[in-house]
Each structure stands twice: as C-alpha cells, then as structure tokens.
Structure 1
Amino acid sequence: MTARQTGTALTAAGALLSLAGAALYVLPGPGFPVLVLGLAALTAGVVVLAVTRRN
C-alpha cells in the first residue's frame, strides 16, 4: 500500500467516523470519542495526502 493510498483510506475513514460521531453526539450515545477519533483520522489523512502530493 502506497502512502497516497494510505492517506486516501485515512481520509475516507475519518470522514465516515466524523459523520457517525456527529450523529451520535446529537443522538443519545457515546458520540464525542467517535467524533474526536474521526477528526484525528481525517486530519492525519489530509496531512499524508498533502505530503505525498509534494513528492
């Protein structure tokens, strides 16, 4: 798996986790930890994509 594929996978997973975390945050459930995890994965994916785009 290349770095670009890893960044894309992290970005996609982070976006889905962020959406799920936001929905669970509004609805009753443990939404905040899922939201934080999703935002962290999304940020890491975008950073990886930005770094690999430069090379």
Structure 2
Amino acid sequence: MSKRKKPINNTNIPQHQIEAIARCILPDILAFYESIEGQREFEEWKKQRQAEQKE
C-alpha cells in the first residue's frame, strides 16, 4: 500500500472545493497537452527553461 501525500493548502479555500475545481479542469488540461498545439507550446517552454537554467 502506498501512502497518499497530504495536499498543501495555504489558502482560505476549503480543500474539497480545490479538489472539485481540479476535477473539472483536469480533462481540459490533458486534452490541451495531448493536442499538437499543446505539445508545441510545452516543447517551447522546456527550451526556454533550459536556456534560463544555463544563464
């Protein structure tokens, strides 16, 4: 059995509301990153991040 990490919530928003919102937007996030546009933007972000780390 693996232990589930407790989420860190430093806001006044109740955890159950955060989880409800996450369940609503997760399918859209996954669809974006599976799309060609999302993959292209992710690759650009990774290149930008690598360039910033070299500086």
Q: TM-score higher than 0.5 here?
A: no
Between 1 and 2, higher relative CO (CA 8 Å, sep ≥ 6) is seen in 1
| TM superposition score normalised by structure 2 | 0.42
TM-score (normalised: structure 1): 0.42
- Bigger Rg, structure 1 or 2: 2
